[in-house]
Structure 1
Amino acid sequence: MDRAEEPGGPGTAGSQPRPGGKHARGGNVFEHTIAELLRAIRLGKYLVGDKLPAERELAAQVRVSRATLRQALIELQTAGIVTSRRGRYGGTFVTRLPSADTDERIDPGELDDAVRFRLVLETAAARIVAERDLSPNEVAALTAAETDCRTVFASAEQFRVLDARFHLMIAELTHMPSLISASASTRDRVNALLDRIPFIHTNVEHSCDQHREIVDAILASDPDRAADLAAQHAEGTEKLLRGFLEQR
């Protein structure tokens, strides 16, 4: 999943214009790529029916590796946003706008509030738990929640439940009732938004890797790293939600 890549790294043409113009943070290069491509389509840089630039050129514009771009295009093809055609006049073509399957307009204020409040809550929760001296039972419960998220899911619905359980477990380990209640409410809001975008397997794999890193930082009693990883994790989800749901 090219998690170590950074936009503008070796082998990319960093001086060329990009579809969106934002840098990826931390390990969110895949989500950044999806969001940049969706933004370019949504803003009319590439219209329905248009052929996207060649892989090398497009990777340079987005400032990611060709491998990351290729994986992002595969996921967008699965979501029905683009299609690939072979032959002399082949290539990758835009088939529909990102929000074409959304029945209702997303309230920009609701989207912004949900993803930003989630960032605040989960960053704080990870920091607080990393500062605590967890009991053996608490360590076991946290580790089990992370493991289940990686190994016991077969559908989008099942993953959402296990993903929510993992994040709520961290909130519960703060022993702060107000934070726990706010986290549960915000998780409902975020999941409702996630239900409106395609289930992207590469993002799920990446999320599970990030869960493991967050747990490792918590168990290492490293609050700064735990908070930073939680922020990166929330920001990756935010990129996908904004990419698919924000209106032109």
Structure 2
Amino acid sequence: MNRDKADVRRAVFTPVDTQARVDAVVRRLGDAIELGLLADGEQLPGETDLAAQLGVSTVTLREALMALRQQGLVTTRRGRGGGSFVTVPDGPTEERLRARLADWSTEELRDLADHWAAVSGAAARLAAERTEPDDLQPLRRTLDELIDAGESTARSRICSRFHVELAAAAQSARLTREEVSIQTEVGALMCLILGDDGYLVEVTDRHRDVISAVQDGAGERARALAEQCVQASLTRLIGLRLGSVGSARRLRPEEGSHGQQSPSRERGKGRS
């Protein structure tokens, strides 16, 4: 297992930090499975070990695994060689994703954009300072996969993996964990915008530019490019939340997410 993959796995299996522990475990593992951070057929750690890694009781973990089985994301086998195994779904339905997007206010999406941009920007800058040329191979492979991906579900998973691998390239366990956490919140929503082949070209071009800046050791350029990549995607999601992809395209992604438009204008667009 390479270092980047190990960092990603460690980030998935870190303690949850919320009062609603069963829901938190279900969401952490469920989103990691849907994003492809856990492989189809992969065996999860044993109940005792997994509960300890997630910082929950075995009772809580068992309830979460039951919920995941009901969702078709985990299969449990009994007897020798048994355990809980990952079942990667074909992908969340568009109706589910749109309902999930509707749960976010535009203010929350803008706040998420700021947070994600800060994390990805910092990761890109540190990666430019710390990586060797061979360390960028996972990012290049992921970019090639993204270019070839034909459906939005696969594209969203690969795009999420790119950002997680970028954080891993920064050689920061905390940034990697934070990027995984962000992707479990927003990664699946990317399906809603990555079905557009034209936008996919924009995304792959931005990812290629980030890799180039990291390879050149241009930390500030890498940071700015990674931030622009995040802001462009969240701008489009905000446009969908307001009911118009066209409105998203008119917002400038290179600006910070706050202050792009006044609340009154935003509410006006929501009514149109």
Q: What is the TM-score normalised by the length of structure 2?
A: 0.50
* Amino acid aligned to 1:228: A
Partner residue, 1:121: 119
Partner residue, 1:187: 183
Runs of 4+ with >4 A deviation = none
* Amino acid aligned to 1:181: R
Task: Please tell me whether the aligned partners of residues 124 and 226 of structure 2 are also in contact (alpha carbons under 8 angstroms).
Answer: yes
Could you say what the CA RMSD is over the residues aligned between the two structures, in angstroms?
A: 2.3
| Aligned mates of 1:173, 1:198 — CA distance in 2 | 24
Task: Please tell me whether the aligned partners of residues 115 and 190 of structure 1 are also in contact (alpha carbons under 8 angstroms).
Answer: no
| Aligned mates of 1:212, 1:197 — CA distance in 2 | 19
Deviations 1:209-240 (A, max 9, x none): 11111100100110111111111111111210
| Aligned mates of 2:194, 2:167 — CA distance in 1 | 27
Partner residue, 2:159: 163
* Amino acid aligned to 1:127: R
| Aligned mates of 2:194, 2:124 — CA distance in 1 | 28
- What is the deviation of 1:175? 1.7
* Amino acid aligned to 1:126: A
SS at match of 2:171: coil
RCO greater where, 1 or 2, for CA within 8 Å and sep 6 or more? Answer: 1
- What is the deviation of 1:187? 1.1
| Aligned mates of 1:120, 1:177 — CA distance in 2 | 16
Where is the helix percentage greater, Structure 1 or Structure 2?
2
Which stretch shifts more, 122-131 or 238-247? Answer: 238-247
Residue 230 (structure 1) aligned to one of 208, 220, 226: 226
Partner residue, 2:64: none
| Aligned mates of 1:197, 1:236 — CA distance in 2 | 11
Shift in CA distance, 117/223, structure 1 to aligned 2, threshold 3 Å: same
| Aligned mates of 1:158, 1:102 — CA distance in 2 | 18
The reply to whether residue 146 of structure 1 matches residue 153 of structure 2 is: no
| Aligned mates of 2:194, 2:219 — CA distance in 1 | 33
| Aligned mates of 1:238, 1:155 — CA distance in 2 | 20
The reply to whether residue 221 of structure 1 matches residue 180 of structure 2 is: no
| Aligned mates of 1:198, 1:122 — CA distance in 2 | 19
* Amino acid aligned to 2:186: V
| Aligned mates of 1:195, 1:148 — CA distance in 2 | 16
* Amino acid aligned to 2:118: V
For structure 2, list consecutive stretches of 5 or more residues without a partner in the other structure.
1-94, 243-269
* Amino acid aligned to 2:112: A
Equivalent pairs: percent with the same residue?
Answer: 22
For structure 1, list consecutive stretches of 5 or more residues without a partner in the other structure.
1-98
Partner residue, 2:239: 243
SS at match of 1:218: helix
Q: What is the TM-score normalised by the length of structure 1?
A: 0.54
Shift in CA distance, 111/193, structure 1 to aligned 2, threshold 3 Å: farther
